[in-house]
Amino acid sequence: MVFCGRVNPITGSLDWIEEDENYDYHQEIARSSYADMLHDKDRNAKYYQGIRAAVKRVKKRGEEAIVLDIGTGTGLLSMMALKAGADYCYAVEVFKPMADAAIQIVKANGFADKIKVINKHSTELTLGPDGDMMQRANILITELFDTELIGEGALPSYEHAQHNLMQERWEAVPHRATVYAQVVESHRLWSWNKLLPMQSDSGTIQPPPEMQSCPGAPSVCDVQLSQLNPSDFKALSDILVVFRVDFSEQISSSSISHVVNFKLLANGAAQVVLSWWDIDMDPEATINCSMKPGWLYPALHPVPWRDHWMQCVYFLPEEKKVMQGEEICLIAHQDDYCVCYNLTKPSAAERSSAESPACRCGAHITWNRARFGELNDQSRMDKYKEALKKILTPSSMCLCVSDGSLLPMLAQSVGAAQVYTLESSSMAQQLMDKLLQTNQLKETIHVLQKSPDKVTMADLQDRKVSALIGEPFFTTSLLPWHNLCFWYSRTALTGNLAKDCTVLPISASLYVLAVEFRDLWRIRSPCGSCEGFDVSIMDEMIKTSLDFRESQEAEPHPLWEYPCTALSDPTKLVTFDFREKVPTEDMTAEGSLNLVRSGVCHGMVLWMDYQLTEDISISTGLLQVSDETGNCQWYPHRKQGVYFFSSLWNPEPAPTYSQSSVTYQLTFKPQLGDLRMRFIPK
């Protein structure tokens, strides 16, 4: 056993947890995307077609087909090559658990004598009788791509392999990749990147100027663009070809800028670049695998679903007002691992900076994209304003406990006499100071960078808190109940609270819903076989890793990106009363919920609803269920918890589906800040 130090997202403390020495191994396997990739029939079929065509071209030249498969994973592509007629394969996998699995899978399928699995990075391979490879290869097969195409270091790996491991003439599968982009205006997407002005009772809360001019975070925002409604953006350009990479030619990983001139389709504000790529598996481009979003497919055309490759949202360094018919230049700056975009006049293209964006204001380091969206949600903030008006008076002594919240400014705007706010880090404190200074509130709102248990009466100028407020939101939170950190903070602050102190929110309730996912279930579904090859060993590894803990855990997922159907009514499991201190005894709940629709029940979704006042509440989960279809609408700025059943379950079809139910057992352990759950379909 080993001890691992981890921040407890509920209590906020550093806990030393005793774990099995194989804990990290199981975590890597459980969180891998191998099941998702193995279920991607479109990807697998296109690779198989491309590999067969490449082997055929080599054989037609009278040569032996020697394959180098970089990033082999399960060994699937190497086995495809052997089945297509290749003579020998070198299958390279740097992640040891996967290399071990590939050895077993290759052996189980009868290819152990013709596939050599090598547990190394491809740049470490050696040639020769005593080396990893007896001879150079003439077919290069890779699956080194991510949502951004090159983010997993594909270009350096290709460059090294082509110079050191391939014959003078080689075939590549895939043969080429093409990156596409479209410039758009989108209030919804832009609100993920900038803090927008917000209306309060005393005026407008303005973002700091340095936040508005900041180029933002350097990392790409990957998202299931198929779930973005086309009405959420205005296209300012056609779909542009930005650059191509031909994998059958010598590749350079050196930085380069790609310049694309185009005419604007409409007036607007250029804010965002949407991007995706496709790969041609053969030189003639007859075998194509595309990552384009669903709304670009013809009506009724099946849209391949994949979560390992999504689409990209890039935020331009600054918003640019543009005019229809104007000629403008989109520049993609590409290095060996990432791409960033800039928009400029054609005459200024040569002077465009090739530096990747880097946050200068602190906000893009402190807040993620969903948090920006939540802070910019005016309708949500209006509910907080309404609730604050009900509880605050000119004599209120108000303390806010939430990370990077606008509630202190709203509390001041509705008339609170004194407002304090706790921030968990020095960067968060600096960010809040900038906000207050911009809005001339530094003299009326006081920022404390302290943990709740360290706050003294002297910090509060010897006044008791009459109103404790929070959203609640904490940057360490991953799952909905992690924001119970507010409850622990309230408990730690008890000595600083007035006897009649009002707490907002009053309480939080944990809800659950049984669902059928359209596609998300694939990431946890066994594969058994793939393209005729037995990969069940991989299923066993994933299942063992998922069952590694005593009971299953929920996973955080932004469900607005993953359509699902409600099979039950939403059910309240337990309520946490913030007016009282955290109890010392376990809180338990058990019962059952009936299914009200037929379908395949893939699992349960959990979320929190907050009761701000007796008559005002907000939800971080289910917003609406269609009466006709059962389709769910989810709150887009928080992740919901998803508990997958270990095996898919198909309840009785209508009209007897009402006899089906799910029993639940839930235990909240206050001393550990741990929520344990078990759901059993009946």
Instruction: Show which residues are catalytic.
Output: 143, 152
- Element holding 234 (H helix, E strand): strand 234-235
Tell me the DSSP string of 170-217: EEEES-EEEEEEEEEE-HHHHTTTSPPPEEETTEEEPPPHHHHH----
Secondary structure letter of residue 527 according to DSSP: -
Look at residues 349, 329, 294, 352 and name the one whose alpha carbon lies nearest to residue 183.
329
Residues 6+ apart with CB under 8 A from 71: 92, 93, 94, 122, 142, 143, 144, 152, 157
Q: How big is the CA angle at 525 (ends 563 and 69), to the nearest 5 degrees?
A: 110
Q: Give the whole-angstrom CA distance, residue 287 versus residue 296.
A: 18
Burial of 66 (C-beta count, 10 Å sphere; 0-12/13-18/19+): buried
Q: Is the distance from CB of 661 to CB of 581 less than 8 angstroms?
A: no
> Environment class of residue 584 by beta-carbon count within 10 Å: exposed (0-12), middle (13-18) or buried (19+)?
exposed
CB 617 within 8 A of CB 609: yes
CA 410 to chain centroid: 30
**Cα 18 to Cα 477: distance, rounded to the nearest angstrom:** 21
Contact (Cβ atoms closer than 8 angstroms) between residue 19 and residue 1: yes
Element holding 54 (H helix, E strand): helix 41-60
Distance CA 221, CA 139 (A): 33
| Rounded Cα gap, residues 16 and 19, in angstroms | 9
CA 350 to CA 2: how far, in whole Å? Answer: 55
Residue found under tokens 């004599």: 395
Going by C-alpha positions, the residue among 36, 32, 40, 158 that lies closest to residue 95 is 32
Instruction: Report residue 365: phi and psi, to 5°.
Output: -90, -35
Coil/strand/helix, residue 98: helix
CA–CA separation, 189 and 271 (whole Å)? 9
Q: Is 607 exposed, middle or buried (0-12, 13-18, 19+ CB in 10 A)?
A: buried
- Exposed / middle / buried, residue 365 (Cβ in 10 Å: 0-12, 13-18, 19+): middle
For residue 127, the 8-state DSSP code is B
212 contact partners, CB below 8 Å, separation of at least 6: 194
Q: Which two tokens stand for residue 219?
A: 């990392």
Give the residue among 53, 121, 46, 120 at the shortest CA–CA distance from 76: 46
**254 vs 240: CA distance, rounded Å:** 23
Rounded CA-CA distance 2/18 in Å is 6
- CA 245 remoteness from chain centre: 27
C-alpha span between 35 and 44 (Å, rounded):
12
Q: Is 604 in contact with 662 (CB distance < 8 Å)?
A: yes
- Dist CA 201 CA 483 (whole Å): 28
